[in-house]
Amino acid sequence: MFCGSITVEAAAALPLFFFAVLALCCMLEVTAVRTSIRCGLQYAGKAAAETAYAKPFLLPGSIEQDLVQAAGADRLDRSLVESGSGGIRCEGSRMSMVTGIMELEAAYRVRLPLPVFGGVSVPMEESLRVKGWTGYEKAGLLTGEEETVYVTETGMVYHRDYHCTYLELSIQMVPASALDGLRNESQGKYYPCSGCVHGEAHGLVYVTDYGEKYHSSLNCSGLKRTVYALPLSEAVGKGACSKCG
């Protein structure tokens, strides 16, 4: 009787023990995968920062390629990442034309090969901010206690936040064929820029999150922002920005 009870308890405990070991191994593997992808994202960010002065925008495909190269394609293909090295997406990465700060994001899914969970996949995301090598602007340009505001050459408003979305242009490359269904953050359509779009657009064009125009050239003046810092008292005739004012 005594030996029989031990056998029953062992039969019930062993599956739980093996499940705990399997769960621990999965946790260690997920941690290792996240560390590899974060290191790869840091490598991709450094590579993008080095070319930020000559190329003031981000190509998600290049970020993904550099990330996979740094993390190791074979390592990712053998990991718990769904679709392996091809399952990492960096579409959310962007760069500010004003500050040169790049926000990199790597989204992917991790499979959990545990019978209890039915082999489900869990979404994961790694992110970091990197300053592009575009130069340095010393803080504290103005003295005294008067508030500092920011204006552009042709803008009719002043901004209290240097990182206002109307000052930071997040440029994206999109196919011209997708413009009809594309909307900006205000749900408005994109119209051709009178300065750089002549005739029907083809291939890839450039748009911004809050802009109303699409551009065929990255050097178009509509994609440039020259920002000046000045005391609020000198912003005569300008109204406050609807977002940061």
Strand-pair partners of 175: 204
Question: Rounded mean pLDDT of 180-203?
Answer: 85
- Report how far residue 104's alpha carbon sits from residue 107's, in angstroms, rounded to the nearest whole number: 10
pLDDT recorded at residue 126 = 93
Strand-pair partners of 53: none
- Do the Cβ atoms of 166 and 135 come closer than 8 Å? no
- Strand, coil or helix: 127: strand
Question: Rounded mean pLDDT of 129-138?
Answer: 72
Residue 103 CA to chain centroid, in angstroms? 5
Question: CB burial class (10 A; 0-12, 13-18, 19+) of residue 144?
Answer: exposed
- Report how far residue 157's alpha carbon sits from residue 148's, in angstroms, rounded to the nearest whole number: 14
- Tell me the pLDDT tens digit for each residue of 113-124: 766 656 678 899
pLDDT recorded at residue 1 = 45
Dihedral-angle region of residue 22 (phi above 0 means left; psi in -120 to 50 means alpha; beta otherwise) = alpha
Total residue count of the chain as it appears in this document = 245
Percent of the chain past pLDDT 90, that is, above it, reads 14
Query: Which of the given ranges, 65-69, 151-155, 172-176, 222-226, has the highest pLDDT on average?
Result: 65-69
Supply angle C-alpha 69, 135, 173, rounded to 5.
Answer: 50
Distances 56 to 85, 148, 151, 159 between C-alpha atoms, Å: 27, 26, 21, 23
DSSP character at residue 86:
G
- Do the Cβ atoms of 101 and 129 come closer than 8 Å? yes
Dihedral-angle region of residue 26 (phi above 0 means left; psi in -120 to 50 means alpha; beta otherwise) = alpha
Residue among 56, 137, 67 at smallest CA distance from 94: 56
DSSP character at residue 117:
G
Residue of higher predicted confidence among 219 and 76 = 76
- Do the Cβ atoms of 227 and 150 come closer than 8 Å? yes
Predicted TM-score of the model (pTM) = 0.51
Average pLDDT, the chain: 80
Which spans in the chain are helix H?
2-50, 60-71, 73-77
Residue of higher predicted confidence among 174 and 168 = 174
pLDDT recorded at residue 15 = 67
Distances 194 to 28, 172, 203 between C-alpha atoms, Å: 55, 19, 18
Phi, psi of 46 (to 5 degrees): -65, -40
